[in-house]
Amino acid sequence: MSNAYEVYGTLALLCGVVSARWALELSYGQFRQLVCFLGGVLLGPLMPLILYLRLARQTKGSKP
């Protein structure tokens, strides 16, 4: 049973780190990066998905 907790904990931490990294790419401030990290840890893959869509929209709008 403890192995399942390790897997879910690692996945939650990974989602938090990815969320914070993409928040950095979106030029968010430190507080919003922290909020995105905590959102990634609590919401799992939903937070990186939201940030990915925002990042894709931003890069699509910046190309000529």
Tell me the per-residue pLDDT of 23-41, one tens digit each, with 9 for 90 and over.
Answer: 999 999 999 999 999 999 9
Q: What is the 3-state secondary structure (H, E, C) of the chain?
A: CHHHHHHHHHHHHHHHHHHHHHHHHCCCCHHHHHHHHHHHHHHCCHHHHHHHHHHHHHHHHHCC
* Ranges under pLDDT 70 in the chain: 1-2, 63-64
Domain coordinates in residue numbering, the chain: 2-62
pTM for this model (two decimals): 0.83
